[in-house]
Structure 1
Amino acid sequence: MKEKFVTLSFIIAPLFIFSQVGINTPNPQNIFHVDGANDNPSTGVPGSLQQANDVIITSAGSVGIGTTVPAQKLDINNGNVNGAIKITDGTQGANKVLMSDANGVGTWNALAGSWLGLLRAGAATTVPSKIDFTAGTVVGQGGAVDITADTVSVPVSGLYEITISGWSQGTTSPYLTTWSIRKNGTEIASPHYGSPIASMGTDVSTTNFFTLNSGDVISLFLSDTFNPAAAAGIAQKVSMAVKLIR
């Protein structure tokens, strides 16, 4: 009986000494090693292409995905393929970054200044009249600029800065330039400037801040007169920039 116990001890002991588990590999590189494609060599260190389908847990509790030597608690090596991580929690969306709160809990949030919708080279010849833009661009992901409908659609909910600039001239003296900033067709602001002499014209620049929802559509009009001044008759070189702040 004693001899049998000694023999069994020699058989079991290595399992406790090395205590490494390999799945699809007889050559685990650490405490727990999964070779997804079963393509690792039986000896030695797997190459980079062989490690690409591996998952490993080290004795320090680090996890490697696509690498057998994780440099951090979680080390993901996705090679040259875009999109190494996907987190879907209901706050995800285009043009967002993962931000943590005071306790380290992360959620997706819009990145300040990461999106700009710009309409430019606009003009109007009557009052009231929608500004007719002839050029535009989007910087960032999502949203849209439509130079046919003369609108900017925002990509995510957040705080936006809307800057209007341009030149206007009235038909009578004095006159008042009134921009009508509209969200989904409803006016949300009417900044205005004027001049006592129609022939002088007015260079106008104004910045406003609004909380907008994803998909809101922004447009710009040369609006009605505010008595007793006469309205501006024309507007030229108009631009409207809609910028995400936070």
Structure 2
Amino acid sequence: MKKTKLLLLILLLSAAGTYAQVGVGTTNPQGVFNVDASKDNAATGAPTVAQQANDFFINAAGRVGIGVLPGTNKLLVNGSGKFTPTTTNDGAGEPVSIEMYGKAGTGTYTSVGGIKLSWYVATGGIDILRGPSDKGVGLGFSIASETNVTSEAMRISATGNVGIGTTSPTEKLDVTGNIKLSGKLMPGGNAGTTGQLLFSQGTSAAPQWISPSVTNLPTFYSVDGVLAGNRNVVMEDKTIIFSTDNTKVNAYNIDSGTFSLDALNDRVGIGTTSPLAKLDVQSSVKEVARFTSSQTLNNFSHVAIGNASGSWAKLASGSGAFAIRNYNTDATVFYSDLVSGNTGIGTSSPSTKLEIDSGTADDSGLKLTKLTSASVNTSTATTAALGVNASGKVVTMGTSKRVDSVATNGVVTLPVAAFGTYKVTVSGSHGNYKTFADEYLICYANTFVKITAVHLSSAYSNGTTSIATTPPNTDSFSLTPGHGIYKLTSSMVYGDQQCNLVATALTNTEIISIKTQVLW
């Protein structure tokens, strides 16, 4: 056996020295060593691509070709290859393999081969992706999940775009999924400063870091916008509440009742979160509302009140006065001077505490609906009649008193405040009997007061004295000039009795004594 091996070695060395090339399975070796596993190489010339596929070559430059003639690299392989390195990290080794393979592509950016990286049965790797032509190539990086599902995690296209989570990146970095950044974000090499925001500069420029302001940071506080949902805006110790629920009574609220909008019932509340009217103002201070106009002192500020179909009124205030006016004509209906305290109805210049201008001559403009001339005064308290003086002011005309059931020779006294002429009238229904009243006159110093008796029906004569129906009559007398009040007392009896008229001076000039005699 040893002799046989020695003979074979001598023959090989002899052949090498003779031909300088060794061919195994071929008489036409390509290079210093050529193994033709299928023995299909031609006797002359270079083998075809198909014939090279089962050959092993080593050329004079020491380059190796497997399945292909050697190229410019130390090793050139045409076909798949698998390497199983031996590891000793834990003393027992790990089942790791590296496999290079090729495959037929099925379209643009599909795999035409690559390197398969395996550990146990989990497989990842790098795929070579063909481009849209024979001049483009991309790379696909695959991983295996913990359940051994292989999927592409990242891709570099032939255009240089990198995609993470996407197989068709359209930008230099195209990520589908979340991004977590622990370092600086530096667009244009600038990381910005504290408090700055990143603003887009359009499609052709990198974004920039800019300090926020009302001008470069448009929000719904500075421009129109739409709130997408409920929002609470806190300003120091105050809160503004915005709600998208239009069925809530308190949908929009500032500081829990300072201002409230009832979107359900179209009401506004100030000082309340549940307004009961279109505008409901509730205040804990005396001044509930205040309206101020920029008009000059003599111009009034107005608040209009009315409805869609009726006449409007306006509340006017200014120059220390308050008024209610007709909205269309500006005519004054009510006016109150807050300085003098005078109030006018139908006039804007009242001269007394209450002045009424009816707008019509001889019409006071004052009506007492429940009190008429037919009304019966049941009170026995002292009252005074009213009248109008030359300037239109209402003054008292004297005092009066209702007297019920005055007995025969009864006396009623009325207090008076000033000297004057007073006439007392007694009236009533007494059947066929007569009611007489005493009349009183005041006699001032240096004057004569003439007392005249006048018969009220036909002239009368008793044969001695005649009394006419109109003055002067046949029987009169004069009072001596003096200062005082004189009482005239008359009495009458039926039959042929005499009618007496007596004048008596009263000492108390502020008291009128009424003596009524009912005779029967």
Q: Which range, TM-score by smaller chain?
A: 0.3 to 0.5
More helix by percentage: 1
Larger radius of gyration: 2
Q: TM-score, normalised by structure 2?
A: 0.20
TM-score w.r.t. structure 1 length?
0.36
